[in-house]
Amino acid sequence: AQSVAQPEDQVNVAEGNPLTVKCTYSVSGNPYLFWYVQYPNRGLQFLLKYITGDNLVKGSYGFEAEFNKSQTSFHLKKPSALVSDSALYFCAVRDMGSGGYQKVTFGTGTKLQVIP
Amino acid sequence: NAGVTQTPKFQVLKTGQSMTLQCAQDMNHNSMYWYRQDPGMGLRLIYYSASEGTTDKGEVPNGYNVSRLNKREFSLRLESAAPSQTSVYFCASSEYNREYYGYTFGSGTRLTVV
C-alpha cells in the first residue's frame, strides 16, 4: 500500500522569507510524486511533479520541490514567499507499479499562511 | 475553457433524501474520480473509473453509487443522504495510467445534509 504524510497542519511564514512545506511518502516501488495547491473555494491545481531524473523539480509560481530517496521525502520550497501563496497544499504519491492501473494517494494537506 | 465541470456547486439536503452530483470533462481523459474533502482528512477517494465501462470502489464508498455514463461523464449518487455525508465533493480526471501528467479537478460541490 502507498501512503503520504504531511506532518504540519499549518505553516506560517513572513512575506519575503523562504518557505518549506514537508511531505514524506511510502511506496513499495519507485514513486511518482506531486504537489497540488488549493485556493479557497476552488478545486486543486497541479503545481509540480517528480517522475525521474534531477532531484530538484521546478514548478509553477516559483515553487520547487526536492526529492530525497533515502529520506523518502518530497518537500515543497520557495525562496521568497508571497502573500498570494497562502493556500492549502497537498502532496500526493503514486507507485510506478509493474503494470495495470495505479491510483494516486493524497496527503491531508498543509495550510500555508504568509504573513505580510 | 477545457476542464472538469461539476454541478451543482451548492446543495442542502434533508436526511434520507437522494441526489446525484454531475461531473463532465472535455479533455478526452479516460479516467475519472470522485473525492470528498473533510477538514483534517484530506482527500478521500470514493469511487473511480479507470476507463469507460469500468467503476471501482475507493476508500470510502459506503452510501454512494456511481455511473460512468460515457467517456465524458461520471455521476455520483447519494441514495439516502446522512449528516455524515456533509462534505465538499470533487470530481477529477486524468489520462489512463498517465496520472504523472497530473489530475484535473472540478471546482467542487459543497453538500450539507441536515
Decide: helix, strand or coil at residue B30. coil
- What pLDDT does residue A99 have? 57
Per-residue pLDDT band for A48 (boundaries 50, 70, 90) equals: very high
- What pLDDT does residue A28 have? 86
**CB–CB contact B106 A46 (8 Å):** no
Q: Residue count of chain A, please give it.
A: 116
- What pLDDT does residue B96 have? 65
**Dihedral, CA atoms, A34, A109, A113, A47, nearest 10 degrees?**
20
Whether the Cβ atoms of residue A78 and residue A84 lie closer than 8 Å to each other: no
- Residue type (1 letter), A108: T
Other CB atoms closer than 10 Å to residue B14's CB: what's the count? 8
- What pLDDT does residue B78 have? 96
What does the alpha-carbon distance between residue A24 and residue A46 come to, in Å, rounded to a whole number? 18
User: Cα angle vertex B2, ends B92, B112, to 5°?
Assistant: 40
Mean pLDDT of chain A: 91
B45 touches chain A (CB under 8 A): yes
Q: How many helices and strands, by DSSP H and E, does chain A display?
A: 0, 12
Segment B1-28 mean pLDDT: 93
Task: Please write the tens of the pLDDT for every residue from A56-77.
Answer: 999 989 999 999 999 999 999 9
Whether the Cβ atoms of residue B49 and residue B31 lie closer than 8 Å to each other: yes
Chain A interface, best mutation among B99, B104, B110, by max A CB count within 10 A: B99
| pLDDT higher than threshold 70 for residue B5 | yes
Segment A10-21 mean pLDDT: 97
Chain B interface, best mutation among A106, A110, A111, by max B CB count within 10 A: A106
Q: Which among A49, A90, A103 is the nearest to B100, CB-wise?
A: A49
* Between A101 and A111, the higher pLDDT residue: A111
| pLDDT higher than threshold 80 for residue A102 | no
% of chain A at pLDDT higher than 70? 95
